[in-house]
Each structure stands twice: as C-alpha cells, then as structure tokens.
Amino acid sequence: MSDAAARRSNPTAWAAFWVALAGLLLMPIPLFIGLILGGGLSIVAAVLAVIGLLKGLARGGKGIAPVVFAAIFIALTWAGISVGGGTIW
C-alpha cells in the first residue's frame, strides 16, 4: 500500500462501521440474545467510533464518513433495544 493510501484510510473508523452494522443486524434476535449480542457490539462500536473520530480529526477529517454511519447504526440499535428489540420480538 502506498504512503498516500495509508494516510487516507482510517481502519478504526471502518471497524466501528462494521461492528455497528453487525450489532444492528443481530439486535432483533428474540429471547435476550439480540440484547446481549447487538447491545454488546454497539457498545464496542461506540468506543471504536470515538477513537476513529479522534484519529480522523487528527488527520484533517480523513475517514470521518464511516464514523458517521457507525453512529447512525449505533443510534438505531439503541433505539431498537429501548422499544424491546432483542427481548420480546
């Protein structure tokens, strides 16, 4: 990988994106399985998103888009859990 491509990428932001997406997709599983899997993954994704955001801001805003989408997925997961997702669906 070239030096310019290494500076543009933000692997922590992409990890937050994929973990948040997995949490959103696993959240609807009933009988508290989705609550544990989806909720746990969304917490991990939130930590990764904060780290990815800080790294992206340190690089002049490079790689912020995956963090924004991860934050949306995290918010949707938490909203789904708050209305009973993973417990009663």
Per-residue pLDDT reduced to its tens digit, 64-77: 999 999 999 999 99
CB 77, CB 38: distance < 8 Å: yes
Q: Which of 38, 43, 50 is nearest to 83 (CA)?
A: 38
- pTM above the 0.75 mark? yes
Could you tell me which residue, 29 or 74, shows the higher pLDDT? 74
In three-state secondary structure terms, 46 is: helix
Confidence check: pLDDT of 18 > 90:
yes
CB-CB neighbours of 70 under 10 Å: 28
